Amino acid sequence: MSKKASPTIEKKDDIATSACGASSQAPVNANLAKPEKIELYRKMVRIRRFEERSLRAYLAKKIGGFLHLYIGQEAVAVGCCSLMGKDDHVITAYRDHGHAMAVGMDTKALMAELYGKITGCSKGKGGSMHYFAPSLNYWGGHGIVGGQIPLGTGLAYALKYKGLKGAAMAFMGDGAVNQGAVHEAYNLAALWNLPVIFVVENNGYSMGTSQERSSAGPGLAQRAEAYGMNWATCFGHDIYEVRATMDKFLKLAREESKPAVVEIDTYRYRGHSVADPDQTYRTRDEIEEYRRTKDPIQVFQQKLIEEGVLTDAIIEQIDTEAKAEADLAADFAEASPYPTPDDIQKDVYWESDNPDQRASKGRLFFD
C-alpha cells in the first residue's frame, strides 16, 4: 500500500469546512468590538517586537542556550489564547514566547528569564523553552518534543474530574506528531472523552526536515480519525480563521467534553533555533514569498484597515509602543541581578521551600 495514497476516509465532521471561507463573519469574530480587534493586532505586534528584540540580545550574547523564535506564527497563539475562559488552560512546547505573551505574561519577566536573571518568570531556572504562569492557566513551556502532550491531557483530565466546564489546549509542532507519547495521549483523550484540543502548529519543518520527509500518511490532523476524534485543518496566517475554527472545538470540549486535533498551517521565518542554519532545507525565496503574501500581522492589519478599525496613526502608535515595551524589557533584564549559587537548590522540592510545613525528615540534597 502506498504511503501517499489519497485519503479514503471523508472528514467525519463538517466543522473544518464550515470554519473556512467567511471566517470574519463567524460570530466569534463578528461580535468582536473594535478595541478587541485592536488588542488582537497589538498582541501580535508586541510578540513580534519582543522576539526581534530578544534576537538582538541573543546575537549580542546576552542570552544563552537556544532561542526558538515564533516570528511568523503569531496569529496562532494569539488567536487560540484569545478564546480562553477562566477554566481554559494552555500548554505548549519550547517555541513558547508567543503563547506566554498571548496569555498575558509580563514581558519584563519573560525577557529577564532569557537573560537568566532572578527576576525572570522562572527565576532564571527555566530559560527560553520553559516559561510558566499557572496563575494565567499557562503550564509551560516544555523542552522535549511531544512530552507536554500527556501533561495537557492531564490538565483536561483534572478539569473533567473536578466537573469544571473548561478545556485544555495542548500545542505542539508538526515534528511532535510522530512521538509515541502524543499518540498515547490521543488515545487516552479519545477513550475518556477529555476536554482537550491538540493543536498542531504545522510550520512545515520539524527542525530542518520537511513534513513530507518525516510524516507518513495523508495529513497530520487526519490521524485523529484513527482514534475517533474530530479534526480540522485551518490556515494560521488569518487570525479570524484560527479563532473561528478553534471556537467551535473549544465549545465542543467545554460543553460535550470532546477532544479534537486541529492542525494549523503556519510558517516560521527564522531557523528552528537562532543558531541553526536556515538555508540547508529551504530557500530564501520560500521565506520571502510567505512573508510577502501571508504574514499574519500584515494580513490582519490589511483586514482591519479595510474594516475601518485601524488607521496609519494607530498602526504607527502600536508599533512604537511595542518596540518601546521590548526595549524596556531588555533594559529591565539587563539591570536585573543573576540568581546566586544559593538559589540553585531552591525550587527543587516543595518541602524544602516550605520548611515550616515539612512532614518528611532526612537529607533531600547530597554532595
Binding site for another protein (CB under 8 A): 89, 91, 120-126, 130, 132-135, 139-144, 147-155, 157-159, 161-162, 180-181, 184-185, 187-188, 191, 345-351, 353-354, 359-366
Q: Closest approach of Cβ 343 to another protein, in Å?
A: 9
Closest CA to 209 of 257, 289, 281: 281
Q: Nearer Cβ to another protein, position 122 or 230?
A: 122
Distance CA 181, CA 197 (A): 15
Q: 148-162 and 180-191 are packed helices; what angle lies between their axes, rounded to 10 degrees? A: 20
What are the Cα distances from residue 104, in Å, to 46, 81, 84, 155, 196? 11, 9, 11, 19, 21
The smaller minimum CB distance to another protein, of residues 340 and 360, is found at 360
Q: Which is nearer to another protein, 58 or 131 (CB)?
A: 131
Min. distance of Cβ 219 from another protein in angstroms?
Answer: 22
Which CB atom, from 26 or from 167, has the smaller least distance to another protein?
Answer: 167
Nearest approach, Cβ of 7 to another protein (angstroms)?
A: 26
Nearer to another protein, 278 or 347 (CB): 347
Alpha-carbon distances of 350 from 126, 265, 363, rounded to whole Å: 17, 40, 14
- Minimum separation from the CB atom of position 232 to another protein (A): 23
Q: How far is the CB of 211 from another protein (least distance, A)?
A: 23
The DSSP code sequence of 181-228 is HHHHHHHHHHHTT--EEEEEEE-SEETTEEHHHH--SS-SGGGGGGGT
